[in-house]
Chain A
Amino acid sequence: MESSTKCEMQLLVNGETKSVVARQGDTLLFVLRNELGLTGAKPGCLNGDCGACTALVDGTPIKSCMMLAIETVGKEITTIEGLHNTPIQRAFVEHFAFQCGYCTPGFIMNAYALTETKPDADDATIQEWLESNICRCTSYQEIEAAVKEVLRQKRKTE
């Protein structure tokens, strides 16, 4: 059983091609954190339940604990480290939409994808997307305010 299944894979992460050696059974989360040092994606449950590990694959939010790294070969991966001074990050800061900050990268990645792909999102859509992540510190009202402000700005500039 100890025959290693490690192999080399090329991953496109935050616009850079990275070569990593990982087990074929390693999740994207594991490889991001342990091989690439991208610890922004957080392990919260390793079971697809909490959303703290959310990253984007080809622009779509996924739970990186539930996807094998090797599945993402040929796809574009974006992690929180790939976002720089985006409106959603600023809104999270200004609205105090986090406290301990642990669920924040996952929440932001999901909210970023939402605001980028669905600027017209209504309340039901916002809820449908954001109920994928658990925050234990805030009341969610702060996060709601942050996301809605970004959506408002987007609509204004479009």
Chain B
Amino acid sequence: MAIGKSVIRKDAWDKVTGRAKYTNDFKEKGMLHAKLVTSPYAHARIRAIDIEKARSLPGVRAIITGEGLPLTGEDLRDRPPIAFDKVRYHGEVVALVVADTLVHAEKAANLVHVVYEPLPAVGKPSEALKEGAPLIHEQLGSYQKNEHTYPEPNTNIAHRTKIRKGNIEQGWAESDVVVETSVAFSPSDHVAIETRCATAEILPDGHIIISASSQSPFMIKRLISTYFGEDVGNIIVHTPLVGGAYGGKAPVQLELLAYLASKAVGGRKVSVWNAREEDMITSPVHIGLEATVKLGATKDGYIKAAEILFLFDGGAYSDKAIDVSRAAAVDCTGPYHIENVWCDSLCVYTNHPYATPFRGFGHSEQAFAIERAMDLLAEKLGMDKWELRRKNAIRPGHTTPTQVVLNRSNVGDLPACLDRLRELMEWDEWQRIEIDAYTVRAKGISCAWKTSTIDPDASSGVLLTFNPDGSVNVISGVVEIGTGTKTILAQIVAEKLKMDVNDVYVKMDIDTQTTPEHWKTVGSRGTFMAGRAALEAADDAIRQLKAIASCVLRASVEDLEVGYGKVFLRDDPSIYVPVKDIAYGYKYPNGNAIGGQIIGRGNYILRHLTPLNKETGAGKPGPEWTVGAEGVEIEFNRRDYTYKILKAFAVIDIGKVLNPKAALGQAMGAMSMGLSFASRETFLFDRYERVLNPQLRTYRPIRFGEHPEYIVEFIETPQIDAPYGARGAGEHGLIGMPAALANALSLAAEVPLNELPLIPELIWRKKKGDSHDSI
């Protein structure tokens, strides 16, 4: 049937013909446009804002500044939607100009005059923790927060997650060999090609209509209600197709500005659209990290202790960075069985652009630290790097850092992934070879795992309706951000109803008033949660179809089956009623009717999740762990320190492959993003912590032709409670890439490379011993 086939995406033809519409494609005559005025300083007191000159320009309808606005934030309310009193990062919004056209708005924005008094800025998290570091949030102690967020007032610590598992002292005592390593990288960006956009309109009857390029339309609705006291039922959020998200469109930012802008012009429709530069630094970014990992192992390579310190660069506001830092702690050891674990994961304020989820949600970051340490440990033990990982690979019966007991269902088969990776990479043949005087080839590997630390009460709903011809419509709150999840839902429904997937239609866009909620389209949770809801909705529809058919066919429902567009007798399929004849009620020849429109309803809520214990971290953060083993093969030039990534490998246990080409696309796309991040992407800051490269001209993601050959395979260990056993798979390809690349290059260059991105200059600098910075 439909499962396991490379069903063509439902959005395919719209997307190759230019007919697919994204938020900023919906143009309306009379719509106003807003332009952001942003801070040129990373940390400064706002002394004055002069809007007079700008206000007097023709076409300008309103200019909004930050006074009197509520603080916002999902875990910790620390961020004014528009800066007030001071700015905390380069690019922060200080005013919003609303005008008839974007040109008018831009002209006026250019005339808004802000007087700043620069304050000392801090960039690195380790610097921000030092005594005497500039305090970024003086009022940290007074901010509203949720129950499980632990800011430390009078410091720059927004949150600390502690993991205390086993007895770390005993772990060290049992260890024959100990290694310690530190890694670091600065914030970078998601660079979705569609920049963020939101429009808002407030109708006379109080309805607030938002359109947003967002992974979280339902959260927008909740938050606008919470922050501004609007009735939640009045808020309707539309999300059409989204042009790439990767976590960066999970937070709520421009939507608040659009709402404020509309409010300032009497409810008229206003569009707020990021230019690329704003999208890169004003809107939230990919988190930076400084980490130290200490591992202890027995001589024969069994890891006995792990001590890990993560200092996440949350930037100026905590947003979802708190969650990211927590997620990294939850899986801090990587997919290895370690009985004694000590980890502190801090979300630290700095004067950098603020951080938010990035595909992998703290896990490629965590993996980079752990997997560099694993290579170092293998070297010190004189053990094969694959062997060390295989030996310590996590398995059913083991516990995670937060002490969840794993079983065959909630964790995939890491040893199987590793075994297959070893074959695919021909690992045993060689790991480093010198081709000629300068050319070296090397391989590096990394394991990956991830659970999704989303809210424990997150839920997803699906509605199924029928068309008069018996075909089905799937209505789900999952946003089509590119992952193809809605096509997968159609496959799930088609499989369940035993029908042609071409007869299953999906509603692509979201309207929060009519679409059942899906918490947020994040964390590789679309297929699992919405898939479960879709199955339940299909069952619900089947139940209803059978009930009507049972009357029509004069047979008990137990004897009926639904499929192939019919409800038929299990033992004699020649006796049936077509679905199309009963989906809108059945009409007898005499005109009497029974039944009525069939609407299948399904929902799913995560179960048994718990918050983490404040002191030990114990708790159940997510439903299951997807695991994988990944690697890269590179060719390195020892003379000029350039390199090529020749091949990239991933073997991921995704439980069940629902759509092979779509699954490969998810894995390969994630790997590409991971390699791009690892090999070239970073924000560069000047000494005042201003971003020097907020453009794609100078911040250059990987391009066509720079890509390696991708070799991806899947292991299928079903997650029993997931639709057809499928595990989350949208992020895992990314997780191991930075570490694998660093491991391969470190081996090739014969120098530890513990920073990202891995540009030739970095390798050159490390080979020279870091001392040749000046001429």
Contacts and interface: CB of A to CB of B under 8 A. Distances in A.
A94 to B, nearest CB: 7
B275 A144 contact: no
Contacts of B639: none
B27 A42 contact: no
B669 interface: yes
B236 interface: no
A61 B707 CA distance: 23
B665 A39 contact: no
Contacts of B775: none
A73 interface: no
Interface in A1-21: 1-2
B181 interface: no
B695 A49 contact: yes
Nearest to B667: A139
Q: How large is the interface on B (under 10, 10 to 19, 20 to 34, 35 or more residues)?
A: 35 or more
Contacts of A47: 276, 695-697
B460 interface: no
Interface string A89-103: 100111110111111
Interface string A77-89: 0011101100001
Nearest to A147: B704
Interface string B580-616: 0000000000000000000000000000000000000
B542 interface: no
A46 interface: yes
A131 B241 contact: no
B18 A137 contact: no
A98 B15 contact: yes
Contacts of B668: 138-139, 141-142
Interface string B8-19: 110111111111
B704 A45 contact: no
Interface string A123-158: 000110011011111111111100000000000000
Nearest to A30: B102
A99 B482 contact: yes
A23 B103 contact: yes
B704 A140 contact: yes
A80 B17 contact: yes
Most A-side CB within 10 Å, residue of B6, B193, B664, B668:
B193
Nearest to B104: A2
Interface in A33-90: 33-34, 37-47, 49-50, 52, 79-81, 83-84, 89
A44 B19 contact: no
Contacts of A34: 27
Contact of B696 (A43, A50, A84, A95): A50
Given A47-B276, A102-B194, A81 B27 contact: no
A137 to B, nearest CB: 5
Interface in B377-420: none
Given A96-B665, A136-B192, A138-B669, A89 B17 contact: yes
A45 B280 CA distance: 10
B241 A101 contact: yes
B707 to A, nearest CB: 4
A141 B710 contact: yes
B465 interface: no
Interface in B12-51: 12-22, 24-25, 27
B280 to A, nearest CB: 10
Contact of B701 (A40, A102, A134): A134
A104 interface: yes
Contacts, number: 166
Most A-side CB within 10 Å, residue of B24, B103, B246, B276:
B276
Nearest to A35: B27
Interface in B690-720: 695-697, 701-707, 709-710
B671 A139 contact: yes
B481 interface: yes
A115 to B, nearest CB: 14
B105 to A, nearest CB: 14
Contacts of B243: 42, 100-103
Contacts of A140: 672, 702-705, 707
Nearest to B676: A136
A38 B191 contact: no
Contact of A42 (B193, B697, B707): B193
A126 B706 CA distance: 12
Contacts of A104: 15-16, 20
A81 B17 CA distance: 6
Nearest to A134: B701
A84 B9 CA distance: 18
B552 to A, nearest CB: 40
B704 A44 contact: no
Contacts of B58: 2
Contacts of B696: 44-45, 47, 49-50, 134
B665 A142 contact: yes
A109 to B, nearest CB: 9
Nearest to B697: A49
A89 B16 contact: yes
Contact of A43 (B8, B191, B195): B195
B635 to A, nearest CB: 17
A134 B672 CA distance: 12
B242 interface: yes
Contacts of A134: 191, 193, 696, 701, 703
B758 interface: no
Given A100-B241, A102-B244, A131 B672 contact: no
Contact of A138 (B13, B192, B672, B705): B672
A1 B484 CA distance: 48
B268 interface: no
B244 A100 contact: yes
Contacts of B637: none
A23 B104 CA distance: 12
B192 A100 contact: yes
B704 A133 contact: yes
B707 A141 contact: yes
Contact of B9 (A43, A50, A96): A96
Most A-side CB within 10 Å, residue of B24, B194, B275, B662:
B194
Given A49-B695, A81-B17, A141-B710, A103 B193 contact: yes
25 contacts: A40-B18, A42-B22, A44-B195, A45-B696, A49-B696, A49-B697, A89-B17, A93-B13, A94-B8, A95-B661, A96-B665, A101-B243, A104-B15, A127-B704, A127-B705, A131-B703, A131-B705, A134-B701, A136-B191, A136-B673, A138-B669, A139-B668, A140-B703, A141-B707, A141-B709
Those 4 A-B pairs whose CB atoms lie nearest each other, nearest first: A40-B18, A102-B243, A100-B482, A101-B15
Given A33-B25, A42-B243, A100-B482, 4 more contacts: A42-B22, A93-B16, A135-B193, A144-B707
